[in-house]
Amino acid sequence: MRAAWVTDIHLDFLSHAECERFFDSIVGDSPDVIFVTGDISIAPSLLSHLEAMNQALDRPIYFVLGNHDFYRGSITEVRTAVRARLHGRPLLTYLSEAGIVPLTPSTALVGHDGWGDSRYGNYATSPVELNDHRYIKELTGLTQSQLQERLMRLGDEAAMYLRQTLPQACDHYSHVILLTHVPPFRESCWYQGQVSTDEWLPFFACQAVGEVLHETMRTRPNCQLTVYCGHTHHSGTAQVLPNLTVFTGAAEYGMPQVNAVIEVQ
Ligand SMILES: [Fe+2]
Ligand SMILES: [Fe+2]
């Protein structure tokens, strides 16, 4: 099976014709399935962009959402709207709610949005102010400590979900692919070929998810976990354990690309 992986495609930066050209380029790689690791669009246009992908790509699309997908909206409302939209669209799968998806007899797929959960780096002294905290309903109008509590809760939610799905997937498959938006480890949080600084790490990596992945894979050496993520827009590979590899994908606003075509065994 061939999977085309795309991340941070930010379709709201493209015209209709540019979207169609991008979809054609994906189809040109002849993938059997598509992996999308978040930042597809922004809240007001997310559903129409998902619909456009569904129609143009016409093959299974497995996706998670990124922080930008909630811009000008609310996390809860966007997730609810996406869930409703998937009814009757069997090719679209929102992994944060799909459990374990068998891809081949030996490989399963799991995933969750994840979130920059403020735990890596130094949140207390970071001067970074993301647009997330201006454009996402749940993250606006908060004090620094209230915001941190909310970021941690979003990370914990992703971790709890993966704690329920990943071990089970590993017990039944020799290879598990995990899609998430936010890099789960410090060493997978790439920026210009280096690990992000302590100022950016709180918002660009998810420690709660990293801990679940590390804990699960450390005790299951016979299973291989491959993680695909984005969010930093800079690429790199991190070998976290002998059986745990993280690929972080590059992206440029207005110029989406296929990050890789993956042969799934
Ligand atoms: Fe992005
Ligand atoms: Fe992002």
Residue 186 pLDDT = 97
Residue 108 pLDDT = 98
Enter the tokens of residue 15. Answer: 């015209």
Ligand nearest to the CA of 249: 1
Q: How far is the CA of 55 from the centre of ligand 1 (A)?
A: 23
Q: How far is the CA of 247 from the centre of ligand 2 (A)?
A: 15
What is the spatial distance between Cα 249 and Cα 237, in angstroms, rounded to a whole number? 9
Enter the tokens of residue 57. Answer: 């790509």
Q: How far is the CA of 52 from the centre of ligand 1 (A)?
A: 19
Residue 2 pLDDT = 98
Inter-residue contact 123 to 202 (CB < 8 Å): yes
Ligand nearest to the CA of 6: 1
Q: How far is the CA of 101 from the centre of ligand 1 (A)?
A: 25
pTM: 0.98
Range of 188's domain? 2-263
Ligand nearest to the CA of 8: 1
Q: How far is the CA of 106 from the centre of ligand 2 (A)?
A: 30
Q: How far is the CA of 145 from the centre of ligand 2 (A)?
A: 22
Q: Which residues, in sequence order, are CB contacts of 1 under 8 Å at separation 6+?
A: 32, 33, 103, 104, 263, 264
Inter-residue contact 36 to 61 (CB < 8 Å): yes
Q: How far is the CA of 222 from the centre of ligand 1 (A)?
A: 33
Ligand nearest to the CA of 251: 1
Ligand nearest to the CA of 234: 1
Enter the tokens of residue 98. Answer: 């799909």
Count of domains forming the chain: 1
Ligand nearest to the CA of 204: 2
Handedness of CA 248, 93, 79, 136 (dihedral sign): positive
CATH number of the domain at 116, please.
Answer: 3.60.21.10
Percentages helix, strand, coil for the chain (3-state, rounded to 5) are 40, 20, 40
Ligand nearest to the CA of 116: 2
Q: How far is the CA of 188 from the centre of ligand 2 (A)?
A: 14
Residue 225 pLDDT = 98
What is the spatial distance between Cα 250 and Cα 24, in angstroms, rounded to a whole number? 20
Enter the tokens of residue 150. Answer: 């909310």
Residue 7 pLDDT = 98
Q: Where are the beta strands (DSSP E) in the chain?
A: 2-6, 33-37, 61-64, 92-94, 101-102, 107-112, 175-180, 190-191, 194-195, 224-229, 236-241, 244-248, 260-263
What is the spatial distance between Cα 219 and Cα 62, in angstroms, rounded to a whole number? 27
Ligand nearest to the CA of 7: 1
Q: Which residues, in sequence order, are CB contacts of 181 under 8 Å at separation 6+?
A: 7, 37, 38, 39, 64, 65, 66, 67, 113, 114, 115, 229, 230, 231
Q: How far is the CA of 172 from the centre of ligand 2 (A)?
A: 31
HSE value, Cβ hemisphere, 13 Å, CA-based, for 141: 2
pLDDT in tens, the chain (265 residues): 999 999 999 999 999 999 999 999 999 999 999 999 999 999 999 999 999 999 999 999 999 999 999 999 999 999 999 999 999 999 999 999 999 999 999 999 999 999 999 999 999 999 999 999 999 999 999 999 999 999 999 999 999 999 999 999 999 999 999 999 999 999 999 999 999 999 999 999 999 999 999 999 999 999 999 999 999 999 999 999 999 999 999 999 999 999 999 999 9
